[in-house]
A and B are shown apart, each in its own frame.
Chain A
Amino acid sequence: MHRVQVLDARGITRALERIAAELVEKVADEKLLYLVGVQTRGVPLARRLAQALAANTGAQPPVGALDISLYRDDVGPWRAAHQQPVLHATDLPHSIDGRVICLVDDVLYTGRTVRAALDTLMDYGRPQAIRLVVLVDRGHRELPIAADYVGRTVPTARDEDVQVRLRESDGEEGVWIAKEVV
């Protein structure tokens, strides 16, 4: 396995701080902001982004967690691995009606996760708007989906693996591009 680091711990922090600043600039009414992390690594990222926003505005927006497993388009016989995604909790502490939802995920790749997340959110209410925040955009979209706020755009090949490791879940921190060495 050959691994190249594209973001270190400091890089992740700075990317989130920059996104927080952009959000403050672009969202007309910050009080409507509501961050929703996609399980699993989107959740700690959403929490950190909320702290970065609090440092900017003095007020921390609510943070929720969204599990999209039951809305995926690859459950059942289409799945190669013959294994259903493990379910995680969806926890939206406040109603999403009328809010500006910032959907937070670690990597944007095919766009299928985001499609599933949009469908999941719509079953919980009617937000005023949904924006997409990703730490890494690695390209290769299969659906017409684009992120509004990107930490880092990283050109990749399809056979490469983008590994996001966060101290909350993985004990190390950084983003790597990994490739199986044949």
Chain B
Amino acid sequence: MRVQPALRLAGKDLVGIDPLSPGEIQLLLDTAEEMRAIAERPIKKVPALRGKTVVNLFMEASTRTRFSFEVAEKRLSADSLNFSASASSVSKGETLIDTARNLEAMQPDFIVLRHQYAGAPHQLARILKASVINAGDGAHEHPTQALLDALTIRIRRGTLAGQVVAIIGDLQHSRVVRSNVLLLSRMGATVRVAGPPSLIPIGMEELGCEVHRRIEDVLAGADVVMMLRIQLERQGRMNFPSVREYYDFFALTPERLKLAKKDCLVMHPGPINRGVEIDSRVADGPQSVILEQVTNGVAVRMAVLYLLAGGHGEPASD
């Protein structure tokens, strides 16, 4: 059965999937689905957020997510300010809270935050009047990624409920997997994860997924397979013997993909490491929806901005 969409988002911020109800997730996905059409129009811009200011505060490298937010902001006619850690007073030792308070003194309506520490957006959300959107905090959550993944599945499959989704790779360092497990399980999908034992965090199953150690076990009968990027830059040392060995045991190859359902969707949050976690024949194959995920990312971020701009809390008495 289809989840009834909520009338509005309850909070002023989007810090994660965890605080969202199934109805709020449905509202976000329904809104995003309509936002997709704006990209197909001769004039790819609507005036909904005219006069709103968005600060894109990216304290950690990101190209895809930052571009996607920027495109979403421009399509809604908001004014964007970009702030990257390397070219700012953060490199002079300013704390995150001081940076944010200084930015708030310029009256932005939204702050989109990417930060290397889990919980940074939650802290800003508590002290700032502006709406804070989490664009990835440490290894914690990446809510807009999970929403765009869900939108991609929903458009291809018509529903999330009952889908069997396999997520494979570096579960330890991935915020994408956490947000995805929370969202998909809340919407009635079955989530199975697999990765090398050294990259499975303790208590993973408590998020609401089955945990396996072999890629073959989670691929069998899957409707969707999501490959996670091996985040070589996040690991002090390699948690597996070699990239070659990782490929041999955990990469999605055309042979392994045959274990899943015939029309199984292949997804990846990007950027992909060809020949590490995914074989090029699969990444570029007919089942791959990796580029649709990018397109849907813009629509999802438009929906988040639009719905948060509507205000929050109890409706007025009319």
Binding site for B on A (CB under 8 A): 67, 69-72, 75-77, 79-84, 86-90, 119, 123-125
Contact = CB atoms under 8 A, between A and B. Distances in A.
B315 A82 contact: yes
A89 B311 contact: no
Contacts of B310: 75-76, 79, 82-84
19 contacts: A67-B34, A69-B48, A70-B46, A70-B306, A76-B309, A76-B310, A80-B315, A81-B316, A81-B318, A82-B315, A83-B311, A84-B31, A86-B30, A87-B31, A87-B34, A89-B37, A119-B47, A123-B46, A125-B42
A83 B48 contact: no
Nearest to B43: A123
Q: 5 tightest A-B contacts by CB?
A: A84-B310, A87-B34, A70-B46, A82-B311, A123-B43
Contacts, number: 70
Contact of B48 (A75, A77, A90, A125): A75
Contacts of B186: none
A124 B46 CA distance: 11
B207 to A, nearest CB: 30
A123 B42 contact: yes
Interface of B: 5, 7-8, 30-31, 34-35, 37-38, 41-43, 45-49, 52, 76, 306-307, 309-316, 318
A75 B50 CA distance: 10
Contact of B314 (A71, A82, A84, A86): A82
Contacts of B306: 70, 75, 84
A120 B38 CA distance: 11
Contact of B307 (A71, A84, A88): A84
Given A70-B47, A124-B42, A84 B35 contact: no
Given A70-B47, A71-B48, A75-B310, A82 B8 contact: yes
B41 A123 contact: yes
A87 B309 CA distance: 14
Contacts of B42: 123-125
A88 B41 contact: no
A77 B311 contact: yes
A90 B35 CA distance: 10
A123 B34 contact: no
B311 A76 contact: yes
Nearest to A81: B315
A76 B12 CA distance: 12
Contacts of A76: 49, 52, 309-311
Nearest to B316: A80
B55 to A, nearest CB: 17
Contacts of B309: 75-76, 84
Nearest to A88: B34
A81 B316 CA distance: 5
Nearest to B109: A76
Nearest to A78: B311
Contacts of A89: 34, 37
A130 to B, nearest CB: 17
B76 to A, nearest CB: 8
Nearest to B8: A83
B72 to A, nearest CB: 13
A88 B311 CA distance: 20
Contacts of B48: 69-72, 75
A72 B46 CA distance: 10
A67 B37 CA distance: 11
B316 A71 contact: no
A166 B309 CA distance: 32
Given A88-B34, A89-B37, A82 B312 contact: yes
A72 to B, nearest CB: 8
A77 B52 CA distance: 11
